[in-house]
Chains A and B, each alone.
Chain A
Amino acid sequence: MITLSPLSRIPIYQQIIEQILAQIAAGILSPDTQMPGVRNLAKDLGINPNTVVKAYNELERDGFIFSKPGIGSFVSKSYQNNTILIQVKMDELRKELTLLKRLGVKKSSFDDLLATLYETEEDA
């Protein structure tokens, strides 16, 4: 399920990529799951099919999905290139943290946040 935000400035193909990456990271799209077909996705979203092709091509180039000729695209088993997603998100985080730092948030607050986040994660 992909939803586009009509008010977003982010190009549509990037919105598609980001949502698919987030769903892969969250495990919603698990390895070997078949991706929606280009035609169906373009039709559902009411967008140019080439835009979907462009998004899928980039995802395939970076190893997140692979295509079986004549069948469709599938989520890769081990997406070793998740460093790309991590890099993108780290950059975003750095920006937000810089702002928070300027707003006077102390390092200890981040420590607490991280501690809670990772503890809960481990408990689960």
Chain B
Amino acid sequence: MIKITGVSKRFNSKIVLENVHWEVPKGSIYGLVGPNGAGKSTLLRIMAGVLPSETGSITIDQQAVYDNPLIKRHILFVSDDPFFLPQSNLKEMREFYEIFYPHFNEGMYNKLLGLFRLSEFDRIQEFSKGMKRQAGLILALSVNPDVLLLDEAFDGLDPVMRLTLKRILADELMNREMTVVISSHNLRELEDICDRIAMLNDHSITIQDEIEALRSHYHKLQIGYTEATQDDYFKSLNPLHLEKRGHVYMMVLKGDVEKLLIDIKATHPVLFEEIPITMEEVFVYEMEGKGYGQLI
């Protein structure tokens, strides 16, 4: 398990992370979302032991990560702009990785090379952005890491390569116990492969839960009347989101709403529908509740 306790980080005087608490269970695959500039990359870097935190602790299986080469052999971080030696090709990078990672799996490397359709001998410098990302993933996955941290892994890949990556991750999750954290803005894609979602916002983790639990925690309702006169009643329910189009209300409620639903049905709507909520909507409505991205 990765345990983050009270982690804070500033760059100069600018607060990036403040009192972050987060637990990533072993074998889980966690999606990390948050608005631009929320500090997702910084958090991943601290988890990978690349950056020190100012306060708090990060442990993997109870061992501190920073300055701990033994643990770091089992953690792989793929940044959104992966590092390659100048002028190198993948073959040279593989040899470079083999020095630092004794678990480097050549069979896996060759398999991934084929799946991602990259040549071992072309200079990486001449790769496109997405191909560089693929090269970074090939190297990272070949190390058989216990912990894989992917910064915006999906965001630079084409749809076929995104599916390829998800398939590889699904396969690896069955083969061995690997813990994965993926930051992304693509919530649709995260929903496929992740079992949990965490949201980083206002410098700390504000939501962390299983996707299924989140799904049952938020309720998206569409309620229509022949005459729309329920404004005050619906506002009094403190919805996360409420909008009205003609005689139809759309409302997002949080928490246990069993009893509320009975009350709402008693107002005799002609249309009453609970619509399954997507993780993207959870993100949008939560952020909106905090005044982010609202139109003036």
A11 to B215, CA, bound (A): 9
Contact of B193 among A6, A38, A47, A54 (CB under 8 A): A47
- Contact indicator per residue, chain A 1-26, by CB within 8 Å of chain B (1) or not (0): 00000100111100000000000000
Q: Is B244 an interface residue (CB 8 A)?
A: no
- Contact indicator per residue, chain B 132-167, by CB within 8 Å of chain A (1) or not (0): 000000000000000000000000000000010011
**Chain B interface, number of residues (Cβ within 8 angstroms):** 20
Q: Across the A-B interface, how many residue pairs have beta carbons closer than 8 Å?
A: 49
Given A9-B275, A49-B173, A44 and B192 contact (CB-CB distance below 8 Å): no
Q: Is A33 an interface residue (CB 8 A)?
A: no
Q: From DSSP, what is the main secondary structure of chain B's interface residues?
A: helix
Given A46-B166, A46-B192, A48-B29, A11 and B276 contact (CB-CB distance below 8 Å): yes
A49 to B27, CA, bound (A): 11
Question: In the complex, are the beta carbons of A44 and B276 less than 8 A apart?
Answer: no
A96 to B167, CA, bound (A): 38
Q: Restricting to B17-49, which residues have a CB under 8 Å from any CB of A? A: 29
Using Cβ atoms and an 8 Å threshold, which residues of chain A touch B191? Answer: 12
Please name 21 pairs of A and B residues whose Cβ atoms are closer than 8 Å in the assembled complex, sorted by A. A9-B275, A9-B276, A9-B277, A9-B278, A11-B215, A12-B191, A12-B192, A39-B171, A39-B174, A42-B173, A43-B167, A43-B170, A46-B170, A46-B192, A47-B193, A48-B194, A49-B170, A49-B173, A49-B174, A50-B195, A51-B195
